Homo-oligomer: A and B are copies of this chain.
Amino acid sequence: MARIVMKFGGTSVADLARIRAVALRVKREADAGNEVAVVVSAMAGATDQLVGWSRDAGGAQPDQREYDNVVSTGEQVTSGLTALALQQLGLKARSWLGWQVPIETDGMHGHARIRAIPQDGLRQRLAAGEIGVVAGFQGVGPDGRITTLGRGGSDTSAVALAAALEAERCDIFTDVEGVFTSDPRVVARARKLDKITYEEMLEFASQGAKVLQTRSVEVAMNHRVRVRVLSSFNDLPGTMVVDEDEIVEKRVVSGIAYSRDDAKVTLLKVADRPGVAAAIFGPLADNAINVDMIVQNISEDGRFTDLTFTVGRGDLDRTIRVLEANRAALGYGAIKPDKDVVKVSVIGVGMRSHAGVAQLMFKTLAENGINIQVISTSEIKVSVLIAEKYAELALRALHTAYGLDAA
């Protein structure tokens, strides 16, 4: 008998038939004597429709408080329908909205962060054998209004709730069978990982794998929540996200991630003097534009250099506007934007103790005639920016080179 959190994504609650299937799966855990809190996303497509309406009514940048009010209804609907489906199976169940638990967040509407989850009422009801169905993605801000946690935020709802409830496990049900060594739609020989470390999962999520929201992995890592990623469409065991010492068979590289969400900006003929980088990136930070990879060329004449960096593809137009508005102060020659790029990352905690991981990546790409535009590294990953047309070729070649291909 344990306390567990089960989270179901949009495709897992896409219609009434899927919601009934979810209810049956929850019943199995309840029948086994577990206390079960369920976290649900909106029905697949519902959030897109609500976002579309909000933009239609409120313009490209709608008031985020009203956006949250509208968009959070998607999860509210599934929380109620899932509770009803559980009741139809003879179980005690009730829905909990963000403001009812409550899931207290900061006031950053549209991308709020959870501050605290004083879940006394919920915990009592769970202990009394009632299944709690919590609407994901939503909380309540200091202003008493509904907040949302950003796209994919239901993962974070689930992990944070598991931490607050001191749950034994947080199962994230989705439409894939777990975390793979690479995207199986691109790399046919990708393998499902049985276990992955928090650190690797964090890199996978932030380098483009959509399986978990990045923030949810941070929360899991900080609170040591045992997260399992698995499919709601079958009974396979999925992937367990665990501490590094729980992984017996050490690997150097766990997988190859990629992201098409980046755009490259090159500033030509930038003055090569101290403080120029701060002068350029300051206005971008002021406009909440995140800069990821940065490379500054070596100046040939000691006077001018080129500066290249990446931003989110959705931020590109805004980035150019900010740079142009500050052109006089920055004093660059020209802006060269490029959306046709993809970021490919080799990820693995084993890198810490193994040399030559990056070298194998560069060599493999060179052998396939792929030019590397930008490089960035961390302790457990190497990322390169390449032309988008090489994405599939690079992924497959790297997957083979690092010995990840399924037998």
Chain A 41-75 interface 0/1 with B at a Cβ cutoff of 8 Å (1 = within): 00000000010011011110011011101100100
A34 at interface, CB cutoff 8 A: no
Query: Roughly how many angstroms separate A136 CA and B121 CA in the complex, as a whole number?
Result: 28
Binds B, one of A24-32, A93-101, A231-239, A321-329: A93-101
Interface residues of A in 68-100 (CB under 8 A from B): 69-70, 73, 76-77, 79-85, 87-88, 94-95, 97, 99-100
A274 at interface, CB cutoff 8 A: no
Cross-interface CB contact of A84 among B66, B73, B144, cutoff 8 Å = B66
A19 at interface, CB cutoff 8 A: yes
Query: Roughly how many angstroms separate A83 CA and B386 CA in the complex, as a whole number?
Result: 44
Chain B nearest Cβ from A275, distance in angstroms: 40
A100→B63 contact, CB < 8 A: no
A285 at interface, CB cutoff 8 A: no
Chain A 124-149 interface 0/1 with B at a Cβ cutoff of 8 Å (1 = within): 00000000000000000000111000
Residue of B nearest to A133 (CB): B66
A70 cross-chain contacts in B, Cβ below 8 A: 76-77, 80-81, 84
Chain B nearest Cβ from A181, distance in angstroms: 38
A16 at interface, CB cutoff 8 A: yes
A77→B59 contact, CB < 8 A: no
Interface residues of A in 254-305 (CB under 8 A from B): none
Chain B nearest Cβ from A170, distance in angstroms: 24
A54 cross-chain contacts in B, Cβ below 8 A: 80-81, 84
B80→A69 contact, CB < 8 A: yes
A69→B73 contact, CB < 8 A: no
Residue of B nearest to A87 (CB): B63
A62 cross-chain contacts in B, Cβ below 8 A: 84
B84→A58 contact, CB < 8 A: yes
Chain B nearest Cβ from A69, distance in angstroms: 4
Query: Roughly how many angstroms separate A83 CA and B66 CA in the complex, as a whole number?
Result: 7
A145 cross-chain contacts in B, Cβ below 8 A: 100
A146 cross-chain contacts in B, Cβ below 8 A: 97
B65→A94 contact, CB < 8 A: yes
Query: Roughly how many angstroms separate A99 CA and B69 CA in the complex, as a whole number?
Result: 13
Query: Roughly how many angstroms separate A56 CA and B56 CA in the complex, as a whole number?
Result: 30
Known contacts A59-B84, A67-B84, A73-B77, then 11 further A-B pairs from the complex at CB < 8 Å, ordered by chain A residue:
A16-B57, A20-B57, A50-B77, A58-B81, A58-B85, A59-B88, A65-B94, A66-B94, A69-B76, A70-B81, A76-B76
* The 3 residue pairs across chains A and B that have the minimum distance between CB atoms: A58-B84, A70-B80, A73-B73
What are 13 A-to-B residue pairs whose CB atoms are below 8 Å? Answer: A16-B53, A57-B81, A58-B81, A58-B85, A58-B87, A63-B87, A66-B87, A67-B84, A69-B95, A70-B77, A70-B80, A70-B81, A73-B76
